[in-house]
Amino acid sequence: MLQYAVLGSGSSGNSYVFSDGTVSFLIDQGYSVVELKRRLERFCIGLETVQAVFVTHLHPDHAKGVGILCRRQPAGAYISSRSMLEQPDQFAKLGIPLQQVFPVEPFEVVEIGPFSLFCFATSHDSAGSVGWFITYEDQNLMVLTDTGLTTVEHKQLAKDANILFLEANYDKRMLETGPYPLYLKQRIDGSHGHLSNEQALLFLKDSGFAGNHIYFIHLSDVNNDPALLEKAARRTIQTPFTVCHKNQWYGPQPEAL
């Protein structure tokens, strides 16, 4: 049976787990091994079942724990080849044993147990950044985070997704009136920054997403308010959704796993 959970999302660390009970993998790993283990246990998933980690991009909150995990156990690290080529220093800093690194190209299909995955390009200030599309039996799951804009390709993929993990990083007015310096506001709001609540909700409408559940992820602590997003989402979408708060873990209830 398919299990999945948001282990954490936001600037302090990001990781998502997918499992069939025997084979598990992560999208991103921004935690220490101790913290990752603790978060996996919350969903009754053993660390030793993690066979791979698929990386969206090399910013530390997404990638800093990949090397520590791979040095501890023989998990494969799947990273876009462009990230590795264009950010050799950041890549080297992760300290992943090279025999465990698998460079991937967009739309190259990777199989892990009963799962198949491919990545697609996103628009972020980290070269080679990607999102991931996962298939398990007849279920499609999509992780779209850390992107300043959405593309036609993103919309086509979302239309086929059953479960969507979608960035809603900031509320435009909170960002504009908030404490960040202007250059940072422009970076976040720019085409290589992050998705706003408004952009995320518009994306859902434009893509024709008709799946079962949306997880709003990667909310900013400073420039967003979960209650605001919740209210706006209630007004615009019919699909059940979860607004993922900082340092909270989300997924199906452990009893049901």
- Binding residues (CB under 5 A) for Zn ion: these are 59, 146
Q: Which is nearer to Zn ion, 159 or 187 (CB)?
A: 187
DSSP one-letter string for the chain: --EEEEEE-STT--EEEEE-SS-EEEE---S-HHHHHHHHHTTT--GGGEEEEE-S---HHHHTTHHHHHHHS--EEEEEHHHHHH-HHHHHHT---GGGEEEE-TT--EEETTEEEEEEE---SSTT-EEEEEEETTEEEEEE-S-SS--HHHHHHHHT-SEEEEE--B-HHHHHHSSS-HHHHHHHHSTTS--BHHHHHHHHHHHT---SEEEEE---TTT--HHHHHHHHHHH--S-EEE--TT--BSS-GGG-
Q: Which is nearer to Zn ion, 192 or 213 (CB)?
A: 192
Find the shortest distance in angstroms from Cβ 220 to Zn ion: 10
Find the shortest distance in angstroms from Cβ 190 to Zn ion: 13
Q: Which is nearer to Zn ion, 146 or 189 (CB)?
A: 146
Find the shortest distance in angstroms from Cβ 58 to Zn ion: 8
Find the shortest distance in angstroms from Cβ 14 to Zn ion: 6
Find the shortest distance in angstroms from Cβ 90 to Zn ion: 11
Q: Which is nearer to Zn ion, 3 or 80 (CB)?
A: 80
Whole-angstrom distance, CA of residue 155 vs CA of residue 10: 23
Q: Which is nearer to Zn ion, 39 or 194 (CB)?
A: 194
Find the shortest distance in angstroms from Cβ 218 to Zn ion: 6
Find the shortest distance in angstroms from Cβ 13 to Zn ion: 9
Q: Which is nearer to Zn ion, 100 or 129 (CB)?
A: 129
Ordered strands of the 15-19 beta sheet: 3-8, 15-19, 24-27, 50-54, 76-80, 101-104
Q: For Zn ion, which residue has the nearest CB?
A: 59
Cα 148 to its chain centre, rounded Å, is 14
Q: Which is nearer to Zn ion, 39 or 59 (CB)?
A: 59
